[in-house]
Amino acid sequence: MSVLDSIRSQFVPIHREGYPLIGLFALVTLVLFWLLKPLGVIAAALTVWCIWFFRDPERVTPLREGIVVAPADGRVCSIVKAAPPRELGLPESAVTRISIFMNVFDCHVNRSPIGGRIENIVYTPGAFISADLDKASESNERNSFVIGTPHGRLAVVQIAGLVARRIVCFTRQGAIVGAGERIGMIRFGSRVDVYLPAGAQSLVGEGQTAIAGETVIADLRAEAIEPAFRVN
């Protein structure tokens, strides 16, 4: 390993989505230092926060058939029975919904909770109320995925929050994704909902901290579920 590679390995990678905004923060910092040093110090702190916000660390995803991993870093804010968003065309019966709230200090790169095929992606405009409120699932701007798996269909919904103004999608309809694979991000504070297939068992509790791509949040093998998609 070269000296440069060794130095790089000591730093957490930054996602490419963050470079334009980090550059803007840095430019404003230089201008403010020139105009008024105290404001420049504040801007420098905000620039460091912006760099931290767009970090994109590697994750080690558990590999076992039927397990569901967290799609986002953050706090499990609710586990309830709820019907998936109507725009996804899934059955309207209530299933287990696990919601993970990301504050402005959490990593905001979202990952696929399970391996399978992206059967549908639907973007829905909406409001920007606080993402930790229950009604945010229906009222806020969101981007929704339906993932077909050997154990049923699972829905993942990226929900914009009070200060979030951009939802980014990294995948496409029809794509095959692996568990823990990056599928998008939201900036800034926001929330991700996972709607489990009927019969799945939740393995987390409200208030628990989740790590995207690593924390196991559910098991789809609790009951025999008719496969919606099989990976050859």
Active-site residue list: 190
Whether cis (ω within 30° of 0) applies to the bond prior to 128 is no
Q: Facing residues of 54 across strands?
A: none
How many Cβ atoms from other residues are within 10 Å of residue 216's Cβ?
16
Q: 55 — phi, psi (to 5°)? A: -65, 150
Phi/psi-derived region of residue 156, left when phi > 0, alpha when psi is between -120 and 50, beta in every other case: beta
Is 54 in contact with 104 (CB distance < 8 Å)?
A: no
Is 118 in contact with 172 (CB distance < 8 Å)?
A: yes
How many Cβ atoms from other residues are within 10 Å of residue 103's Cβ?
15
Is 196 in contact with 43 (CB distance < 8 Å)?
A: no
DSSP string, 131-185: TTSTTHHHHB-EEEEEEEETTEEEEEEEEE-SS--EEEE---TT-EE-TT-EEEE
The number of residues making up the chain comes to 232
